[in-house]
Amino acid sequence: MPVACSTSTLTGSSGAVYFTPAATRFCLLAADFSSVDNDITVGSNNDYRVGDPVVFSVEGTATLDTGLTAGQSYVIETVAGDKITLVGVTIAGDGSDGTGHVVIEFDPPQAICECREFTVDYSREQLDVTTLPCGVSASAGGQKYASTKRMQPGYAEITGTMTLYITSSDSAISTRLMESIHLNNQDGAKVKLYVDAVSDGATPPLPDDSASRLIAGSVTFSDFNTGVNPDDPTQAEVTFNMFDLTHWIGVAIP
């Protein structure tokens, strides 16, 4: 693929928003995989839906049930309380914990087609590291001019908003996002805010993060605002706080 070298300013048509729903990431033990009932026990506060794509990964010295493959995408077939089943999967019940666990999470992220716009506000805490003079002034009568403070950047705070059109579609990922706001458990919620989304050319296509410009990380939702009148499309503004960044503009953050 050629290297992009255009100096044209990007417009909103180059952007996109991808979302990973809240309450869709859990750490599991071997006992959570049942060969008897062919199901997987996840948190009772999960917000999985039928049709959700999920992947498994292993942390520490745990081993994954042989009915599953780490990194492979599966589709949720049923959700019943704290238990889920997967399409076409037979649980063997032979995993082990060791000194680790298995992680299940929603993947890949889904595009929000109902997003009107997004904003991001990045600010750094300023730490005062001013010191007392380390010597006397050259002037016999003391320092002639005022001293200045020395500041050092501290923690970053990233907040933002997404403006979403409200539709009657139960399958719209924007509806899922708005519903996530009221969850106590928002673990797993992530957003990818593309300023310039470049396709990976696959089928179906997804953004190529290595070639795109994006701001991405985990999020928690804090505010929701909407209004309804006969003259305008119904919109909602959702406020989020971002942490654990994975991408900042053109840089992937390990």
Domain match, 96 and 163 both? no
Reading the chain (254 residues) residue by residue, the pLDDT tens digits are 566 777 889 899 999 999 999 999 999 999 999 999 999 999 899 999 999 999 999 999 999 999 999 999 999 999 999 999 999 999 999 999 999 999 999 999 999 999 999 999 999 999 999 998 888 777 777 777 888 999 999 999 999 999 999 999 988 999 999 999 999 999 999 999 999 999 999 998 999 999 999 999 999 999 999 999 999 999 999 999 999 999 999 999 99
Please report the pLDDT score of residue 144 as a whole number: 78
Residues 87 and 156 reside in one and the same domain:
no
Domain count, the chain: 2
Residues 115 and 97 in one domain: no
Give the global pTM. 0.91
- In this structure, are 128 and 235 located in the same domain? yes
Asked if the structure places residue 139 within a domain, the reply is: no
DSSP-assigned states of every residue in 108-165: S-EE-TTEEEEEEEEEEEEEE-----SS--SSTTS-SS-----EEEEEEEEEEEEEEE
In a shared domain, residues 30 and 42: yes
Instruction: Specify the residue for token string 């002034």.
Output: 137
The CA distance from 189 to 105, in Å, is: 10
* 190 and 238 share one domain: yes
- Which residues, other chains included, contact 15 with Cβ-Cβ below 8 Å and sequence gap of 6+? 118, 193, 194, 195, 196, 197
- Tell me which residue range forms the domain holding 184: 12-18+111-134+145-252
Domain annotation covers residue 3 = no
Please indicate, yes or no, if residue 6 is contained in any of the structural domains. Answer: no
Q: Is residue 246 part of a domain?
A: yes
